[in-house]
Amino acid sequence: LQKLIHLLQATDDPLIQEQALITLSNSAAFSVNQDIIRNLDGLPVIGGMLSNCSPKVKEKALNALNNLSMNIKNQEEIQVFITQVCRTVESASLNSDVQLAGLRLLTNMSVTSDYHQKMINSIPCFLHLLSEGTERTQIQVLKVLVNLSANPAMTRHLLRAQV
């Protein structure tokens, strides 16, 4: 895992980055590896891949962060990327793999109300995706919206959103 994280930092080759992120994502399916990746400072490295130009690299980084977000301590570190993930969801092509990967990560990050405030500005985008997206996109957006709606502090923001 340490070598994969170092490889991500050392290369600019999108194909190598993509493969390293896939391997890290698969590894993060196991809770012990989630802790190891965090302790190796892998979360900021993976999060840094969100600004990559390649949509495939962005998607794989989002998938890896999604798997890593199943751990509360990891969520504390991943939350710094929520605004960037929301912007990625908004700017991605409608129904794209990048958009869906971002929505899956936001679903996990919105299970508790700890980070809901960071998603407020994206509520109009979520509602737009609900009306314009495919069924897969709509289902993923609904998961985020259901999580947000479970927080009474979000009611006003949800009801006042301009669509």
Q: What does the mean pLDDT of the chain come to?
A: 97
Distance, in Å, from the CA atom of 12 to the CA atom of 14, rounded to the nearest integer, reads 6
Structure token digits, residue 147: 């999580």
Domains belonging to the chain, first-starting first, are 1-79 (1.25.10.10), 80-162 (no CATH)
Q: What is the DSSP string of 52-69?
A: -S-HHHHHHHHHHHHHHT
- pTM for this model (two decimals): 0.96
pLDDT at residue number 163 = 75
SS3 content of the chain, % helix, strand, coil (to 5): 80, 0, 20
Residue-level pLDDT at 6: 97
Distance CA 161, CA 11 (A): 42
The tokens of 101 are what? 């990967």
**Predicted confidence (pLDDT) per residue in 28-37, tens digit:** 999 999 999 9
